[in-house]
Structure 1
Amino acid sequence: MTATVPAVPAHSPGSPDSPALISFRDTVKHFPGPDGGFTALGGIGLDVAEGEFTAIVGPSGCGKSTLLAIAAGLVEPTSGEVLLDGRPVSGPGPDRGVVFQQYALFPWLTVRANVEFGLRTARVPRAERRRRAQHYIDLVGLADFADALPKTLSGGMKQRCAIARAYAADPRILLMDEPFGALDSLTRSQLQEQLLQTWERERRTVLFVTHDVDEAVFLASRVIVMASRPGRIDRTVEIPLPYPRTRATRLTAEFTALRTELWQAVQRSEPTARPASEATQEN
C-alpha cells in the first residue's frame, strides 16, 4: 500500500504540547505475594496527546504490559489513576482498542465477521457494519481474504485482521502490546510500514509497547524508556523524523543516531540482576 498523505512534521497534529487524551496520574501497581509481593509500577506520570504515536520500551519486567493493561481497564491500579479525555478509566470500553501479540481472533468466524464483531456487539446497523468492516479490510490489504477463516491465514495476515478489527470499532486510542513480536523480520517490517500508513490516514492515538528499538524509532514520534524496580519512566526520547516514513528512513544517519541514543538509554535502564520472584510478573 502507498501512503497518499503529504509529509508532515513528526509532532503534528499529535504533539505532546496538545491536550492529553490519556493521562497516567501517579499510577502504582503492586502485586501481592511472598515476602511482601512486588511493585510492578511505581508512580507513573505520563500524558499522551490526541493523534500522537507513542512507543514504550524497556527491559523485561519493567511494567510495560501492566501499564497498557491498566490503560485498557483490564487491570486496576493499586493507587493513582488513569484518565481518558479527563474521565477516570474504570474498566474496558469501546473507546480503547487493544491489539495483543497473540491475535485473539475467533477461529470459527471469517475475516469479515471478526472485523465486524465489535460493531455487532455495539448494535451497529448491518449496512453500516459491513461498510466500516470492508473499509478497514481494504486498508490493511485483506480484501481478497474477507471470507477466509483464520486457520487459512499467515501470522502476518492474522495480525492485520486484528488491527482492522480494532480500528473498525472506532476507538479513541489504540493500545498495542508487542503486536508484531511473534512475526518473522520481513513480515514485521512490512506490517510496521502498513501500520504507519494506516495511522497517517486515520491519525488515531497509539500507545505501542515493544522490545524492539528499531521498531520504536521507525514508528513513534516519542519513545518512553522505562526502568524497573519498581517500573518507572526513566527517559523520554523525541523522534523528530518526518512522516511519512519509508524503508529509506531506516538508512538515514538521523535514524541511526536516534537508534543508538535509544539503545543506550535502554541499556542504562537494565537492572544488574533480577530476583526470581519477579520473573513471572508482567512486562
Structure 2
Amino acid sequence: MTTKISFQNVRKTFDIAGQAAFTALEGLSLDIQDGEFITVVGPSGCGKSTAMNIAAGLTMPSSGQVTVDGIPVKGPGPERGVIFQQYALFPWLTVRKNVEFGLQIAGHPKAERRQIADHFIDLVGLSDFAEALPKMLSGGMKQRCAIARAYAVNPKILLMDEPFGALDALTRVQLQDQLLTMWSKERRTVMFITHDVDEAVYLASRVVVMAARPGRLHKIVNVDLPYPRTEEMRLSPEFSELRNEVWRAVYHPVAA
C-alpha cells in the first residue's frame, strides 16, 4: 500500500491572550495508507481535531508538515472531504440540492449533478426524502445527507470529526454500519475522529490513540478483525480484548 496522508513531526501551538502559548500538538508523525480506515481517539485536549483540521488545510502547523500523495497541504482541496459533528447543511436547500451543491460549484452539468446526487442519496437511504428540507429530517438523516454530499464530489480522502457524536446510540450504530458499507464499496481513505472507544475499534483497521498535554501520538492498536464488521463481532471476545487495550491506552496515559 502507498501512503496517502503523512504527518511529519507536526507541532501546533495557539497563542492565548495573557497566557503562555498552548501546545495542541507536539511531534506528531503518522502515515495513513491509501484506502485505509483509521480512527483517532484520546482524551479532551489531545489534539485530535487539530490534527484533522491541519490535514484538511483549515489551519497550518506551527512546524512540521502534512502531505497528501507527497504534496504538502497548504489549504483545503477537492480531494479531501470534511464532515463535522454539526451537519452544516443549507437549510433553504432540499436534500438533493444540498448533495448537488459541490458538484454545481465544480461546474458539472445539471443532468449529471442529479444522477450523481441521486446515486449517493440512495446509498445513504434517503431516496424518499430527496425533496425534503433539512428541518424535516432527524439528526441521523441530516448526517446521512452530509455524508452523501461529501461523497458526491468524489474526494479521495474523508476527514470526519466526531460525525456521530450528537446522535442517539441506536442511530449511531446504524450509521456506523452504513458508513462501513459505503467505505467497502468506495475504499476512500478515512481519518475518523471520535471520543468513543467502541466506535473507534468497530470502524477501524488501526486505532490511533493520542495523549494530552501536549497532544501527541501515544499508541497505535491494530484491529485484526475482518470486514464486514457485524453485531456478533461487537460481542466477541476478540472485540472485547481490543476495546480493553484501547481503553487502557486512553484512560491510563503515561507521563510526557
Q: TM-score w.r.t. structure 1 length?
A: 0.88
Match of 2:93 among 109, 120, 125: 109
Secondary structure at the counterpart of residue 4 of structure 2: strand
SS state at 2:233 partner: helix
Letter of the 1:76 counterpart: M
**Cα deviation 1:46-89 (Å, max 9, x = unaligned):** 10001000000000000000000011100111111110001011
Task: Output aligned runs, 1:249-260, within 5 Å.
Answer: 249-260=233-244
Aligned partner of 2:222 in structure 1 is: 238
How many angstroms apart in 1 are the aligned matches of 2:35 and 2:76?
21
> Structure 2-normalised TM-score?
0.98
Corresponding position of 2:7: 24
SS at match of 1:130: helix
Post-superposition CA distance 1:126-159 (Å, at most 9, x none): 2221111111000000000001000000000000
Equivalence for 2:172: 188
Structure 2 residue corresponding to 1:134, chosen from 118, 123, 145: 118
CA-based RMSD: 1.2
Aligned to 1:38: 22
Return the alpha-carbon distance in structure 1 between the equivalents of residues 241 and 207 of structure 2: 14
- Cα distance in 1 for residues equivalent to 2:153 and 2:195: 27
- Structure 1 counterpart of 2:225, which letter? L
Deviations 1:185-228 (A, max 9, x none): 01001100111111111110000000000001100000000001
Distance 1:162 1:132 in 2: 15
2 CA distance for matches of 1:269 and 1:170? Answer: 38
Match of 1:96 in 2: 80
1:247 has 2:231 as partner: yes
Q: How does 1:1-283 map to 2 (within 5 A)?
A: 18-33=1-16, 34-269=18-253
Deviation at 1:269, TM superposition (A): 2.3
* Structure 1: tracts of 5 or more residues without a match: 1-17, 273-283
Structure 1 vs Structure 2: percent identity of aligned residues? Answer: 65
- Distance, in Å, in 2 between the alignment partners of 1:227 and 1:167 is 31
Q: Which amino acid aligns with 1:215?
A: E
Bigger mean CA offset, 124-133 vs 47-56: 124-133
Structure 2: gaps of 5 or more residues: none
**In 2, Cα distance between equivalents of 1:158 and 1:197:** 18
Cα-to-partner distance string for 1:211-255 (whole Å, 9 max, x where unaligned)? 000001100000000001111000000000000011111011111
Count residues in correspondence. 255
Q: Say whether the 8 Å CA contact 1:58–1:211 is kept in structure 2.
A: yes
